[in-house]
Chains A and B, each alone.
Chain A
Amino acid sequence: MEKHSYKIHTLACVALFTAGNAAIMQPFYGKSNFLAVFLLTALFSASFALLSVAVVNLAFKESDSRFRKILRYIIAAAAVLAAIYGAFSTVFDYVTFLGKAQLPQMHTALIALATLGFIVVFIKISHTAILKYCLFMAALSVAVVVLLFGVSVKLFDFAALTLDASLSGSDCALSFKCFLKYFSPILAAVLFVTLANGKTKTVNIWGGLGVGFLILLITAVQSVLILGNSGGYEFSYLYAVSVFSSGNLFSRLDGFVYFLFFATVTVKIAVCAKLLPLIIRRLVYAKHF
């Protein structure tokens, strides 16, 4: 039976997982040296991803060694915690966004219920279906981000973009806090793709991480160039896109932003939700776990 290669799916999965709820909350917007903070956060995340891949591959290599077995359980426990945290924080941020901006007249309980429904669906479908979903959504998401950036160029105020490379102690602490809040669950994504594909290559994870951070960079830069960098917008990217209009036909392109947020959030939730049954199945059924 032909074994499918899911390299590009892995890249897409990690890309949207990385963008996740950070695309909604735009943690780098509103700081004068946001580029420096962004790069430092990306560095923390890349280092953590490298460590995660090395440890996960070491733990899940086919072997009966006692050390590997103990390591597998430790990594599985850490990944489950990361997945639970990742899923809950993403759901919380997304429900907040829906309640305030996209669906303000719908009761929060209904929104939460619908989100719960998604989680149940993602737990039940196969991991290959999730990978294919990731690829489909990632292609469209990147196209949306590039399109929205391109059409908004005429609105840019380049004077608002200051290249401040200074980093104070508090900026470093802020970068680390951003990494912990939004990007530490990458361990869950690494374990997910490892269990789905058998082994994970660092280049695929870093590629996905790079695309994810590129999405965040484009959205943050667009927000700054249109809205300035003084802050004051809770969902800055949504506001930045809502300003664009061209004639009477093309205005309020908020729908594209809603799609982007839906894509990044559902991928992050799907991976976090699917990880737990995947680990349990391997614990119960796999010969060498």
Chain B
Amino acid sequence: MKKTAIISILISLISLCGCAGYREIQRGYFVTAIGFTKQSNDFGIVLETLSPSDTEPSGEKSNIISGSGKTLDAAYGEVNQSLTKSLYFEHCGAIVVSRDFTESEMSEIFDFCTNLYTLNIDAYVAQTDDVTALFESKTADESVGYSIIGLIKNAGNNTFSNQLYQIKRRDAQTVLPTVSVQNNTLVLE
């Protein structure tokens, strides 16, 4: 009897795994890419998010959300204040930084991303001239973030070694791939 009870409990424990990290998709924005811009002396954060479409039953829509502040935390705080729903970073696979950051500012950005616990540190990092214009461009994928990931993976996993954890473990300044929009097509250099 005791063995039966223990085995039943173990089997039921395995079935509970699906409940972990449960999210109602209507209750949040799924961030697919996060961008960092420099605005005078302020930091700017730009998020590309996907959420369920109000017009198409099984569709999704992309939103661009941004905020700025003297520090990254202030900028992120401004982003959160403007939202009524939560931000979910589990699907964020692309981090895009503007070209005009210094090495120490880039280090600060990477530490900030690391401290977003739900943002996975194997996200790909790239740079661009205009983050907002990049995120607002129309690509074949619904999400620019997913398009960037596809471009980098197609170039070969070891071509750039530009995943967040790979960049943080190197002390020297890393050469990041550049993403730009040419004729409505994303180009990786």
Whether the Cβ atoms of A228 and B169 lie closer than 8 Å is yes
Chain A residues contacting B122 (CB-CB under 8 Å) are 242-243, 245
CA distance A71 to B152 in the complex (A): 67
Q: Is B137 an interface residue (CB 8 A)?
A: no
Whether the Cβ atoms of A242 and B120 lie closer than 8 Å is yes
Whether the Cβ atoms of B114 and A104 lie closer than 8 Å is no
Whether the Cβ atoms of B120 and A228 lie closer than 8 Å is no
Whether the Cβ atoms of A226 and B117 lie closer than 8 Å is no
Closest Cβ–Cβ distance, residue B95 to chain A (whole Å):
15
Which of A100, A104, A160, A228 has the largest number of chain B CB atoms within 10 A? Answer: A228
Q: Is A255 an interface residue (CB 8 A)?
A: yes
Total A residues in contact with B, Cβ cutoff 8 Å: 19
Whether the Cβ atoms of A228 and B121 lie closer than 8 Å is no
Total B residues in contact with A, Cβ cutoff 8 Å: 17
Which of B17, B114, B163 has the largest number of chain A CB atoms within 10 A? Answer: B114
**Looking across the interface, which residue of chain B has its beta carbon closest to that of A245?**
B122
Q: Is B20 an interface residue (CB 8 A)?
A: yes
Chain A residues contacting B114 (CB-CB under 8 Å) are 232-233, 239
Closest Cβ–Cβ distance, residue B22 to chain A (whole Å):
10
Q: Is A252 an interface residue (CB 8 A)?
A: yes
CA distance A160 to B165 in the complex (A): 12
Closest Cβ–Cβ distance, residue A259 to chain B (whole Å):
11
Q: Which of A220-276 contact B (CB under 8 A)?
A: 226-230, 232-234, 239, 242-243, 245, 252, 255
Whether the Cβ atoms of B117 and A228 lie closer than 8 Å is no
Closest Cβ–Cβ distance, residue B86 to chain A (whole Å):
8
Chain B residues contacting A239 (CB-CB under 8 Å) are 114, 121, 165
CA distance A229 to B171 in the complex (A): 10
Whether the Cβ atoms of A104 and B17 lie closer than 8 Å is no
Q: Is B3 an interface residue (CB 8 A)?
A: no
Whether the Cβ atoms of A157 and B169 lie closer than 8 Å is yes
CA distance A183 to B171 in the complex (A): 33
**Looking across the interface, which residue of chain B has its beta carbon closest to that of A100?**
B117
Q: Is A101 an interface residue (CB 8 A)?
A: yes
Per-residue interface assignment for chain A, residues 64 to 89, with 1 indicating a CB less than 8 Å from any chain B CB and 0 otherwise? 00000000000000000000000000
Checking A104, A230, A243, A252 against B117 with a beta-carbon cut-off of 8 angstroms, the contacting residue is A104
Whether the Cβ atoms of A227 and B17 lie closer than 8 Å is no
Q: Which of B111-161 contact A (CB under 8 A)?
A: 111, 114-115, 117-118, 120-122
Q: Is B99 an interface residue (CB 8 A)?
A: no
Closest Cβ–Cβ distance, residue B159 to chain A (whole Å):
16
Binding site for B on A (CB under 8 A): 100-101, 104, 157, 160, 226-230, 232-234, 239, 242-243, 245, 252, 255
17 examples of A-B residue contacts, CB within 8 angstroms: A157-B169, A160-B169, A227-B121, A228-B168, A228-B169, A229-B169, A230-B169, A232-B111, A239-B114, A239-B121, A242-B120, A242-B122, A243-B120, A243-B165, A245-B122, A252-B120, A255-B17
Binding site for A on B (CB under 8 A): 17, 20, 111, 114-115, 117-118, 120-122, 163, 165-166, 168-171
